[in-house]
Amino acid sequence: MAAIRLRDLFAVVMLFGIYSFVSASLFVVLDAVDVAFTEASVGAGVSTVFMLGALALTTSKEKPKSARKTLLPLLAVTITGLALVYGTWDIPAYGDPANPIHHHVVQRFIEDSPREIGIPNIVTSVLASYRGYDTLGETTVVFTAAIGVLLLIGGARRPSSGRDNAG
């Protein structure tokens, strides 16, 4: 990712949008069509719009900085990366049907969900029915975040623009 070296924040945000879209097409290749839909619309679309909005409200140029400060982070990143690569030696290989991840509750989801829920899309029935409380929690998080954004930005607008409590 060349986005690290760019100083122009507009280009960084645009590259991030492209990256999200590429990862969405990667999800299609990996059979996760529902995730690809969400990533393309929410990840590549909505979050890019949010970031552009934040750029419009702040500034789109990054200040240059000295090269001295990049050495320590680079070292930390390299060490962490090597440790993670070392950790992959024990992980089961990609695409193997015998992997432990495929042998727990999933078998039951695949076999019984069309009969129990009546929807051919297994992802939907797991999301909305078997793990419905997760989705409820997700909605709570999104609601809380929306309240937070409104309090942070919406509250600040009023004194700076000089309006009274009209709205």
* Residues of span 23-82 touching another protein by CB under 8 A: 23, 26-27, 30-35, 38-39, 42-43, 46-47, 50-51, 53-55, 57-59, 62-63, 65, 69-70, 73-74, 76-78, 80-81
Three-state SS for 1? Answer: coil
Tell me whether residue 160 or residue 165 sits nearer to another protein (CB atom): 160
For another protein, the binding residues in 2-21 under the rule CB under 8 A are 3-4, 9, 12-13, 16, 19-20
Three-state SS for 8? Answer: strand
User: Could you tell me the smallest distance in angstroms from the CB atom of residue 22 to another protein?
Assistant: 10
Three-state SS for 61? Answer: strand
Kindly list the distances between the CA atom of residue 89 and the CA atoms of 86, 92, 99, 121, in Å, as whole numbers in the listed order.
6, 8, 14, 34
Token representation of residue 161: 């623009």
For another protein, the binding residues in 122-141 under the rule CB under 8 A are 122-123, 126-127, 131, 134-135, 138, 141
How far apart CA 19 and CA 44 sit, in angstroms, is 8
For another protein, the binding residues in 94-113 under the rule CB under 8 A are 94-97, 99, 101-102, 105-106, 109-110, 113
**Number of residues located near another protein, criterion CB under 8 A:** 84
- Is 114 a binding residue for another protein by CB under 8 A? The answer is yes
User: Could you tell me the smallest distance in angstroms from the CB atom of residue 162 to another protein?
Assistant: 14
Token representation of residue 126: 């797991």
Angle at 20 (CA atoms; ends 1, 135), nearest 5 degrees: 135
The radius of gyration of the chain's CA atoms, rounded to the nearest angstrom, is: 22
